[in-house]
Amino acid sequence: MRLSLLDRSRTRAGTSDAAAVTATVARAVDAEAQGYHRFWVAEHHAVPGIASGAPPVLLAALGARTTRLRLGSGGVMLPLHQPLVVAEQFLLLEALHPGRIDLGLGRSLGFTPPVRRALRREDQDAADFEADLEELRGLLTGTGEVTARPAAGGTVPMHVLAVRHGVDVAGRLGLPVVVGGPDLGSDEMVRSLADYRRTFRPWRGSKPSVTISLDVTVADDDATARDLALPEAWAMAQARRTGEFPPLRPVGAILDEPWPDQVRTRVEASLDRAVAGGPASVRRRLEQLVERTGADELMASTSTYDTDALRESDRLLRDLVA
C-alpha cells in the first residue's frame, strides 16, 4: 500500500504562522528522505489554527526543496476558483516539477459565514462542482474551449476529496477518490466505495483508486501516542464550543486547563476514534480499515504540538507500513 502525508500547516501556540509554513517545508524534506509517496498541503481560509491558504504557492516552495516526492493539494476548493485559473496554476507547477504534481479537489466553501462572505461564495450546487471538474479536466489535458498555459506537456492527475459525499461524482468521472472524516470505515462508507468501484466509468483507461485520509499517530507505546493526539482533539472540541479552530497547544498546558463535561466528552470520543498508539496497535487498526475500505493508499493527516514527536511518528509509520 502506498503511504503519503497531508500537512495542513497547523499553527502552534506561541509561534508565528510563518513558523507553521516553514515546518511544513521541513516535514516535506523529511518525508522524501523517509520514502513517502506523496506530500499534500491544504487550503483553509482565515482559520487561526491553519496557516496554509494558497496550495499552489506552497507547492512551488516544496518543489524547490525536494526532487522525487509527489506534491499536491488536499485540496483546492474548486467552488472558490475559476477552473481556468486552477489549470494555469497547476500546469505551471507541472512545468517546473514534471511528473510530480497532483491536484486534489474539494468543494468546501469556508469555515464560517464571515469567511464565506469574504470569499464571495455562500452556496454551491453539487451539479456545479461536477461540471467544474469536467471543465478543469479539459483545460488540463488541452481539450478545453481555450488553451491554458503553459500548454500541457504532461498530465496533472485529478483526485476528488470526499468526506460524506462526492464518491459518486468521482466514479462517474473516472477519477481517484480520497475519503476521510468520522464516517471512514462505517457501513455507509463501505457501501459507497463498493458502489464507486462497481459503477466506475473509466476515462482514458483510468481504474478505481481509493485513498483513505486520517490522523495516524505512532509512538513507542499507546499512552504516549494518545498524549500526542490530544492537542488536535482538544482543538476540535474547542472549535465546536467556540466556533473558532485554535492553534495547537502543548499537552501539559491542556491538562492544566479546566475541562467542562462537554469538552471532556468530545475530546475523549475523538481520542477513542483516533488511530493513535504503539506500532502493534496502529498496525491492527490500519489493517482493519484497509480490509473494510479496500484502500490503495493511506494518507496520514497527523498533527501535534511537538514537531520532533511528529517527525518520529512519521518515521515509525513509514517503518510500520514498509
Domain count, the chain: 1
pTM: 0.95
Residue 268 lies in a domain: no
Instruction: Quote the CA–CA distance of 270 and 216 in Å, as a whole number.
Output: 13
Bridge partners of 161? 178
Residue 243: inside a domain, yes or no? no
CA distances from 24 to 8, 31, 139, 218, 247 (A): 8, 10, 30, 19, 15
Strand, coil or helix: what is 90? helix
Q: In the Cβ-directed half-sphere of 45, how many Cα atoms lie within 13 Å?
A: 18
Instruction: Encode the chain (322 residues) as per-residue pLDDT tens digits.
Output: 899 999 999 999 999 999 999 999 999 999 999 999 999 999 999 988 999 999 999 999 999 999 999 999 999 999 999 999 999 999 999 999 999 999 999 998 777 788 888 888 766 665 689 999 999 999 999 999 999 999 866 789 999 999 877 899 999 999 999 999 888 989 999 999 999 999 999 999 999 999 999 999 999 999 999 999 999 999 999 998 888 899 999 999 999 999 999 999 999 999 998 899 999 999 999 999 999 999 999 999 999 999 999 999 999 999 999 8
Q: Are strands 177-179 and 38-41 parallel, antiparallel or unpaired?
A: unpaired
Q: Is residue 240 part of a domain?
A: no
- Tell the burial category of 4 from Cβ atoms under 10 Å away from its Cβ (0-12, 13-18, 19+): buried
The CATH number given to whatever domain includes residue 15 is 3.20.20.30
Are 313 and 228 within 8 A, CB to CB?
yes
Tell me the residue range of the domain where 303 lies: 2-218+276-321
143, part of any domain:
yes
Contact (Cβ atoms closer than 8 angstroms) between residue 71 and residue 101 = yes
The verdict on residue 255 lying in a domain is: no
